[in-house]
A and B are shown apart, each in its own frame.
Chain A
Amino acid sequence: MSTPARDALDRHATPWLFATALATTAPHALHQPTWLSALSGAVLLWAAWLWWKDRRLPGRWLIVLMVAGGCAGILLEFRSLFGRDAGVAMLVMFMSMKLLEVRSRRDGMVAITLGYFLLLTHYLYSQSIPTGLWLLATMWLVTATLVRLQGGPASPPRDSLRHAGVLCLQAIPFMLVLYLLFPRISGPLWGLPLDAHSGKTGLSETMSPGSIAELVQSADIAFRVRFDGPLPPKQKLYWRGPVMEQFDGITWQPYKGRYRTPQLAPVSPPVSYETTLEAHGQRWLLALDAPTGLPAETSLNGTLTAASREAINERRRFRLSASLDYRFNTSEEAAVLRRNLALPAERNPRTRQLAREWQAGNPPEAIIAKALTLFASEFTYTLRPPLLGRDGVDDFLFNGKRGFCEHYAAAFVVLMRGAGIPARIVGGYQGGEFNPLDGYLVVRQSDAHAWAEVWLEGRGWVRVDPTAAVSPSRIETGIADALDLGEPLPALIQWRADWVRTLRYRWEAINNAWNQNILGYDPLRQRELLARLGLPDADWRSLATALGLACSLIVAGLMAWALYRRPERDPVVRLWQQALRHLARRKVDCAPWETPLDVARRVREQCPELAVTFQPVVDAYLVARYGKSDQALKTLRDAVAQLR
């Protein structure tokens, strides 16, 4: 295959393309299958080696074969060639293989286009600040590669980088205008294909021993809360998730049938707050117990769990209010009570035997107190409980005596049901970490928790947290203090040194500001901003107009800047332009193709009285511009000054 000389890619441009390919594909190694990263890495190395040795690039048929093989691999891995993961995997593979066939500048341009596209794909996985910074730097690099390809072999690398940097800087105003004014659709900044929501961490809808302990080992943020008033006491911060009533001996599940509308009687005045939920793939809002005020498009179900109409698949912000002390369903349906007394037959006989013993003659409050006293006396709070057998609760209560919140909650509920008190498990989060720098309460996956709720005659459903009896510090200060060192908690949570904590607070505050203000810029906020700019009720038409106007203004500004700057470069030219403007005011107009001597002739003909003062200007200008003399600038300046 021959390449026309004009279009041939010079040898020293290829390393730029390698850098582009590496920078745009490497971060995908964090989430794509290892074999794919290894394959594209190997292909890149091969291409680099061929370049280094100045060998012939492989033939077209070989590349076609490799692409086919890669596609087959992707098809096997993802069961599809479409969707986010498979699509990105294809792009990464194409990028590396394209470098095996860069012969002409056109091939280089294809690689660069692919590079720009790959830049975008990173935002499908992460929109964090480091990602943004990395992609900004990469965009600079890709643009510099583009400049290098257009500039040819003569342009040194520093020039390409500088040129690309200027281009990127000039793009910033456009970026800001587009960001602020481009009509927003309600949804995330980065709309994702369907497969993007698999593997989201978060509370699950069911609970079995160990399920929460696993979740607690993640330091990921579940949601952030900002209270309008002061922060309520930590032991009252119960963030309510699913309520689980059905127990098969191992797993707890919510009841899927109908409930009547909950009857909630607030006792304390409501506190209002704003919560920013990370995507967790479920519908519940994890509202503070008990939710009294709910935003539109959300509702409260029969078990007091606030839920959105759709699954929360992107970061969402809600305004809520809650009453920390409340009464809930003081009269309850018989069916619900029956359901909350049911226990699987032939499971956990010892526990049920113990409960029956307690039930004899004791009021419910006394039974609850007995259970809590039992937990407080002999039990240990740990993330590493011993394995439990078929009768899990029996094993836990009488043999292991070591467990995590779900063990205590489950054992407590089984005891209560056995003693004839309706009881159920509530999943959610407890507590959170207050960041004094920005005033946000950060609730992480490690704050996941399970507690119990019992129904008492006259008081309705009452929250009982058996974990608080075992390990009061879990509820009062947080999980890191409740567990011994050496428990498998994330390092981020475990570090207790002050400076680490301060650093972490600062970083989280910055991150939060980024999430709230940059990523959380939604249609509502756009409307608010436009209203503040004097554009109330902006529809897409006025937005488009504003957008067009702002872009034109920027273009005009940049052009004015460029035009203003150019004459600055050479004082000789600037002085001559000044003299020409002087002539123009005297109605002596000169065309740009007229030489200075032509101009002098024209002055003599059209404006003879000016000729005497103008001739020295011409003479000095010609010497200064076309001659060798260095002193001519001053002569010219004096001569131009004489024109006035």
Chain B
Amino acid sequence: MLKSTLSALGGRPRALDGVLEQAGQIILGKDHEIRLAVACLLANGHLLIEDLPGMGKTTLAHTLARLLGLQFSRIQFTSDLLPADITGVSIFERDKSEFRFLPGPVFAQLVLADEINRATPKTQSALLEAMEEGQVTAEGQTRLLPTPFFVIATQNPAHQIGTFPLPESQLDRFLMRLELGYPDRTAERALLSAGGQRARVEQLSPMLLANELPGLQSEAAAIHAAGPLIDYVQALVEATRHNPAFQHGLSPRAGLALLAAARAWAWLAGRDMVLPDDVQAVLPAVARHRLRSAQGGGYALAEDIAALMRSVAIP
């Protein structure tokens, strides 16, 4: 029945279905999160995955890099990591008698910033600046990063010892924030019987050509969002500003992020228009880390986001 709906709504071949399917075989039982992660990359946004150690954060990042055919690098953040360790350093070559810039690990299409909240704020901000500007300034010289450029950052929950939680202004740079959560019984059973999945990641073959992704991104960005749909996004954003469950409301940038994410989600579903369902699907991932719960001051609670959705009528 859903198939018929989608075809009626202008369905077309879904280029990324293969990516979703393959990733689903690596990260078991997390289809929704995988789809969100792909939508995030498709909307040209950075992704923050936050969960306890051992939940498959790194595996997900690695899998996506492989499947999307992106050049991949990984930075393990530690408390003694320096900005130059990310951006790169110039070294003196004695035989040529000159300095040569050795690009750091940030010069890759997909950067996995592992446990970002273990580094000092100074180092964190070096990466976040690269995320925002798409370029790196090292030793007085500005160098462009490759395109596409994604950061998938993982972090452990902030209450763990030895972490520097990201400030709100930097959290806002991530289009989405995901929690993977524990797998369900069947998925966990399959995981246990199949053994670790890390090794299988290396065997994955890319589903896209290296330069194919930007075209898909611009297709997704052109998905039609009708007036009533924009009304809906606006109503949701406005509702966060008057909702006592949150310390403050969503910014205009968050509204744009919500619409972009919903477009990517609609594109993934093979539709040529955005539906309120798309907005609802991405809303928790886009909004929760941008809001502060009025109780406790942490991220907005999932229940509050659900209540928020129930408070806004579909236009």
Contacts and interface: CB of A to CB of B under 8 A. Distances in A.
Interface in B292-315: 309-314
A594 B232 CA distance: 12
Interface string A615-641: 110110011011110000000000000
B89 to A, nearest CB: 46
B145 to A, nearest CB: 36
B312 A625 contact: no
A592 B314 contact: yes
Interface stretch (B4-12, B115-123, B247-255): B4-12
Given A593-B312, A597-B277, A626-B228, 16 more contacts: A595-B276, A597-B5, A598-B277, A600-B5, A616-B8, A618-B5, A619-B4, A619-B5, A625-B228, A626-B226, A626-B274, A627-B9, A627-B226, A627-B272, A627-B273, A628-B272
A591 interface: yes
B277 A623 contact: no
Interface string A571-609: 000000000000000000001111111101000100000
5 contacts: A597-B275, A619-B8, A623-B9, A627-B272, A628-B272
Interface in B43-81: none
A593 B313 contact: yes
A627 B229 CA distance: 10
B197 interface: no
A147 B286 CA distance: 37
Given A595-B276, A597-B277, A626-B226, A615 B312 contact: no
Contacts of B5: 597, 600, 615, 618-619, 622
- State the majority secondary structure of interface residues on A: helix
A551 interface: no
Nearest to B280: A595
Given A600-B5, A615-B1, A627 B313 contact: no
B224 A627 contact: yes
Contacts of A627: 9-10, 224, 226, 272-273
A199 B128 CA distance: 83
Contacts of B272: 627-628
Contacts of B8: 616, 619, 623
A8 interface: no
Contacts of A611: 1
Contact of A592 (B224, B280, B313): B313
Nearest to B308: A593
Given A619-B8, A627-B224, A591 B274 contact: no
B1 A604 contact: yes
Interface of A: 591-598, 600, 604, 611, 615-616, 618-619, 622-623, 625-628
Report the interface size class on chain B. 20 to 34
Contacts of B276: 595-596, 626
Interface in B224-244: 224, 226, 228-229
A628 B272 CA distance: 9
B310 A626 contact: no
A340 B312 CA distance: 93
Contacts of A623: 8-10, 273
Interface string B165-207: 0000000000000000000000000000000000000000000
B9 A622 contact: yes
Most buried by A among B229, B273, B309, B310: B273
B277 A595 contact: yes
B53 to A, nearest CB: 37
B314 A593 contact: yes
Interface string B1-23: 10011001110000000000000
Nearest to A625: B228
A246 B249 CA distance: 89
Most buried by A among B5, B228, B311: B5
A600 B313 CA distance: 17
Contact of B275 (A591, A592, A595, A615): A595
A593 B310 CA distance: 5
Contacts of A596: 275-276, 314
A604 B311 CA distance: 24
A628 B224 contact: yes
Contacts of B314: 592-596
B31 to A, nearest CB: 18
Contacts of B280: 595
Contacts of A616: 8
A289 B1 CA distance: 98
Contacts of A597: 5, 275, 277
A510 to B, nearest CB: 51
A639 to B, nearest CB: 11
Contacts of B229: 626
A323 to B, nearest CB: 78
A626 B272 CA distance: 10
A321 B10 CA distance: 90
A626 B276 CA distance: 9
A626 B275 contact: yes
Q: Give the top 4 A-B pairs by smallest Cβ distance, nearest first.
A: A592-B313, A619-B8, A595-B276, A627-B273
Nearest to A629: B10
Contacts of B313: 592-593
Nearest to B311: A593
A623 B224 CA distance: 11
A628 B227 CA distance: 10
A46 B17 CA distance: 72
B97 to A, nearest CB: 58
A625 B226 contact: yes
B275 A622 contact: yes
A596 B9 CA distance: 13
A628 B273 CA distance: 8
A623 B226 CA distance: 10
Nearest to A618: B5
Nearest to A592: B313
A623 B271 CA distance: 11
Most buried by A among B226, B274, B313: B226
A213 B250 CA distance: 81
Contacts of B277: 595, 597-598
A623 B275 CA distance: 9
Nearest to A598: B277
A600 B4 CA distance: 12
A607 B255 CA distance: 37
Contacts of B228: 625-626
A598 B280 CA distance: 11
A140 to B, nearest CB: 31
A615 B4 contact: yes
A382 B12 CA distance: 104
A628 B225 CA distance: 9
Given A622-B275, A627-B272, A593 B224 contact: no
Nearest to A591: B310
Nearest to B2: A597
A611 B1 CA distance: 10
Contacts of B10: 623, 627
Contacts of A626: 224, 226, 228-229, 273-276
A478 B96 CA distance: 125
A627 B5 CA distance: 13
Contacts of B4: 615, 619
Contacts of B9: 619, 622-623, 627
A627 B4 CA distance: 16
Most buried by B among A591, A598, A625: A625
